[in-house]
Amino acid sequence: MLDGVLTPAAGDAEAGPAVALTVRGLTKSFGSVHAVKSVDLTVHAGKFFGIVGPNGAGKTTTLSMITGLLRPDSGAIEVRGAEVWAGRRARTDGMGVLPDRLRLFDRLTGAQLLHYAGSLRGLDRATIAHRSRDLAIAFGLTASLSRPVSDYSVGMTKKIALASAMIHAPRLLVLDEPFESVDPVSTAAIIRILRRFAAAGGTVVLSSHSMDLIERVCDEVAIIAAGSVLASGPMREVLGGMSLEDRFVELAGGAGAVEGMEWLQSFSG
Ligand SMILES: Nc1ncnc2c1ncn2[C@@H]1O[C@H](COP(=O)(O)OP(=O)(O)OP(=O)(O)O)[C@@H](O)[C@H]1O
């Protein structure tokens, strides 16, 4: 049913390059905050690539530069061999993007939002209608398509945004925290959809704080902390026999010390 949407646009996946995305020496500072420090990543086509890291590690900043939302200070980002930031504006034609802070036109209904997303990508009315129907079924949103997105729950909003990111059948999906606030049944359904997308040659880059999910779903992983890549590559190599959570703690450090918080047990009233 979803084949039209899930088969990445243009070309034979098998004939495509093995590397879908390369990031070299990517750097970004905000004043004195060095958010991303010379990050290198290699993402292979047809794979799930997970990015994990503590709060403030630079995940969103990195993904924002990859998806053309934020200009890097320096470094190179190539998608299937083409530099994203070669010109004055970023080239992101073959990408579907779920940004971190969703700013949707939420006075539109779900159906109108999908139509808008499809129109922006140059799809005709019939194709948009057909794909919207398929995506709504896949994401469990059929009954909600005629309601304004402002009335959606957080999880439903995430799902309609994800559907909007996929409607043009991009080759590369870049998803910042796609499963945050999404219920477990919907998460499993979305993962199934994404697996079919990857099996057809599409590539998924996603960030998440859920170590279990990243370990279970992703083929490749990068652990980022304080703007730098601490480990990156095939999941099995990065894990080295450990769980992702243990490896993450080993590389990035554990939670902050809780000594000195005795006042919290003094209860004021
Ligand atoms: N627009 C901005 N202006 C100033 N500082 C910023 C801006 N965006 C990000 N930063 C800073 O850059 C660093 C990395 O932030 P980023 O949002 O990339 O982290 P993250 O890994 O996505 O964190 P989280 O897991 O909490 O979402 C942080 O120190 C953050 O405060």
Residue nearest to atom 11 of ligand 1 (CA): 35
**Residue closest to 196 by CA, chosen among 2, 49, 17:** 2
Ligand 1 center to 148 CA (angstroms): 30
Q: What is the mean pLDDT of residues 185-214?
A: 90
Ligand 1 center to 204 CA (angstroms): 22
Q: Does 104 have pLDDT greater than 70?
A: yes
Q: Does 217 have pLDDT greater than 90?
A: yes
Q: Which of 33, 52, 67 to mutate to test the pocket of ligand 1 (most atoms within 8 A of CB)?
A: 33
7 pLDDT tier (thresholds 50, 70, 90): low
SS3 of 194-222: the string is HHHHHHCCCEEEEECCCHHHHHHHCCEEE
- CA–CA separation, 45 and 49 (whole Å): 10
- CA–CA separation, 208 and 206 (whole Å): 7
Count of all residues that appear for the chain in the document: 269
Residue nearest to atom 18 of ligand 1 (CA): 58
Percent of the chain with pLDDT over 90: 64
What is the reported pLDDT for 16? 45
Q: Does 254 have pLDDT greater than 80?
A: no
What is the reported pLDDT for 13? 46
Residue nearest to atom 16 of ligand 1 (CA): 58
User: Chain-wide mean pLDDT for the chain?
Assistant: 88
The model's pLDDT over 141-174, given as tens digits with 9 standing for 90+, comes to 999 999 999 999 888 898 999 999 999 999 999 9
Q: Does 235 have pLDDT greater than 80?
A: yes
Between residues 152 and 2, the one the model is more confident about: 152
**Pocket of ligand 1, beta carbon within 6 A:** 30, 33, 35, 53, 55-61
CB 96 within 8 A of CB 165: yes
Between residues 12 and 171, the one the model is more confident about: 171
What is the reported pLDDT for 193? 86
Architecture of domain 3-254: 3-Layer(aba) Sandwich (3.40)
Q: What is the mean pLDDT of residues 115-141?
A: 94
Percent of the chain with pLDDT over 70: 91
What is the reported pLDDT for 228? 96
Find the range with the poorest average confidence among 6-15, 59-68, 169-178, 248-257.
6-15
Ligand 1 center to 56 CA (angstroms): 5
The domain locations on the chain are: 3-254
259 pLDDT tier (thresholds 50, 70, 90): low
210 burial class (0-12, 13-18, 19+ CB within 10 angstroms)?
A: middle
